[in-house]
Amino acid sequence: MKRRNQYISQLGVSRRIYGGNFVTEKKLYRIRQRYRYGFDYRDIFNMDMSFAEWLYSHMRMYKDNGVHDDTMTTVTFDGKEYTIQEAVDWIIENTGGFIRYGYYLDTHFDYITRYPLIGKMMSKFNPAVRMYLQEYEWLEDNEGQITDNFIKSGRLFIEIMQYCWL
């Protein structure tokens, strides 16, 4: 069974590829690992993307279902002052950008470089692939900034944890 995450799906990332869903072998082994550990080896293939998916989806759920007034408490991070609400929005924006960029690189490589004919067909039938390959202006120069913002998002998450959950 493929894992599903509505928030990652809303980014336009195909369910087939996120969260290690591209791995199809050793199903019984994965079931036993999930029973024993609560996760399976697919979660450790790409730890930064696994953390990005976790952080993005949990911050989105917090924003959608949070019952706290997040505008009262502020946190200072990198010389700027954020309310908790602004910090959560910043984390969501930058983590989502990191996820989209990472999966865009994979999709672009698969559907443009390796299999261009399949890429043309997938672009016609799959809106997520079409969105990646046509609508976004991705530049390799932006990769460093996107990665840095993702790392800062993780640090900001730890910073706001002090105020919200500890």
Identify whether 132 is part of a domain.
yes
Per-residue model confidence (pLDDT) at position 1 = 45
Closest to 98 measured CA to CA, from 57, 149, 64: 149
Sign of CA dihedral 32, 34, 36, 40: positive
Using N-to-C axis directions, what is the helix angle for 84-108 and 143-164, rounded to 10°?
150
Q: Are 17 and 103 in contact (CB under 8 A)?
A: yes
Identify whether 30 is part of a domain.
no
Reading phi first (left if > 0) and then psi (alpha if -120 to 50, else beta), residue 19 is in left
Identify whether 107 is part of a domain.
yes
Give me the domain span that covers residue 160: 47-164
Per-residue model confidence (pLDDT) at position 111 = 60
Place of tokens 């199809």: 24
Identify whether 4 is part of a domain.
no
pTM metric for this prediction? 0.73
Sign of CA dihedral 137, 141, 144, 149: negative
Identify whether 105 is part of a domain.
yes
Per-residue model confidence (pLDDT) at position 132 = 56
Identify whether 100 is part of a domain.
yes
Identify whether 159 is part of a domain.
yes
Within a 10 A sphere around the Cβ of 136, how many other Cβ atoms?
A: 13
In tens digits, the chain (166 residues) has pLDDT values of 456 677 877 777 766 666 555 556 677 887 888 889 887 777 777 788 888 888 999 999 988 887 777 788 888 888 899 988 899 999 999 998 888 887 776 666 656 666 666 666 655 666 665 565 555 566 667 778 888 988 999 999 988 888 766 5
β-bridge partners, 75: 82
Identify whether 117 is part of a domain.
yes
Q: Please tell me what DSSP assigns to residue 125.
A: H
The tally of domains found in the chain comes to: 1
Place of tokens 């976790």: 54
